[in-house]
Structure 1
C-alpha cells in the first residue's frame, strides 16, 4: 500500500486582511490539482472556521496549534475538542517557531499530540535541527529526541493519524533548502527509528514530509526521493507557485 502524497500550506501569521485571505482562497479554489494529493491548509486561528466554509471540499483545514486541555481557564488557547466541533480535521504541532519563540518542549508537544488524537484530530508533527546542530552532526540525535516523547504517549494505532514533518530549522524562511540527498537521509533515519521504536508497519505507512524553503523550483527533485511523502510549505503557500508544489509528483 503506497503512502498518499501530502501537502500542507502553513500560512503562519499571514495574511493580515480578510481581502488578502479571500484572494488566496480564490486561487486555491480555481486551481487544477492532482486529485491523488491530500492538501491541508493552515490559516491563522481567526480564519479556520470561515476558511472551512469557503474552501473547496477536497482541501482540508488545519489549525496551527492547540492546547492539551479540553476546556478551562487557559486564556488565549484553543482546545482539540473545539477544533473538532468546528469541523477542523488537522492541527500542526511542534513547529520550530513554537519550540524556539514560545519555548515549547518536546514533552509539551507530546502531550498536545496525545490530546489532539484522543479528540479525533490528525496531527502534522514537526521535528528538525538547527544549523549548529547539523554542523555538529547531531541531526539524527536531535530528531529522535523530539520524537521519543511522542512515541511514549501514543499507541501503535494512533500513528495512522500522524504525519511527520521534517523541517530543518536552518531552512525555514531562510531561502536555504536541504538538498534532496540531505532530506532523503533524514527521512530514512526517521523511518528506521519508527521501525525500531514503534513497528515496521508504522514505519512503512507513516508519511514523512519535508518543510523548509520548498518552492516550485526545488519541489520536483525533493518529491522524487523514496522517503519524501510530501511537503509542509510556509511562504510559498501564499503564492501561486503553491499549486506547482501540490502537483510536484505529476509528470
Structure 2
C-alpha cells in the first residue's frame, strides 16, 4: 500500500487502444501491476498484456462495458483479486463522434455520452470506493475543450462533463490521500485520431503546436505516469498535454 511503484496496482480502462496501451506499458515500466481493460477488442488487449509481460511487467486483461456498473464492479473485483488492491485508475475509454450541433444525430449523442459521461462516472464511482490511500484517479478529457473546433461540440460536451466530475471528486475525497486529475491531450497520432483525416489535415494539425508535431501516445502516458506516481501535490486539476497548442 506504499508509494513505491513495485507494489502499486493500476486499472487502465480502454487499455487496448492507442493512448490506453501506452499508459499501461508506461505504468508497468515503473513497476506497477496493470489490469488492461477492454470492451470489445480482446486480441488488442491481449497484445498489450503481452507487451507488458514481455518487458518483465505484470498484467492481466479485464473486460466490461464502462457504463455498466455491475460489469465494472466485476472488473474492479478481478483486478483486486489478481493483485491485492488498486492504487491507480486511469480512465482512457471513450468514443468520439463529430458533427455540427445543428443537425447532430441525438441517438449518436446518447451513445457517445453513455460511454464518455456515464462510463467516466461509473469508473470514477468505483475508484472512489476502492482506491487505496496514496492512490490516484486520472480521467482523460481533450484539449479541444479550449480550442473550440467546429464539429466537436457534442464530444467536448461529454469531456467537459468528465472534467467537472474529476474536479468535484477530488474535493469529495478529502482526507483519503487520493488525488483526482484529468489529462487533456491535444491531437495525438492514434488510429482514432487519424481515421478519416486527409494528409493535409494531419499536416496542418501537426504544424499547429509550437513544437511542430503531433502528440504521441507515449507523450500522454508520460503525463499520466507523473500524476499516477510522483505528483502527489497536483490534485483537482486538468493537465493540458498538447505541446503548447492550447
| TM-score > 0.5 by shorter chain | no
Interval containing the TM-score (normalised by the shorter chain): 0.3 to 0.5
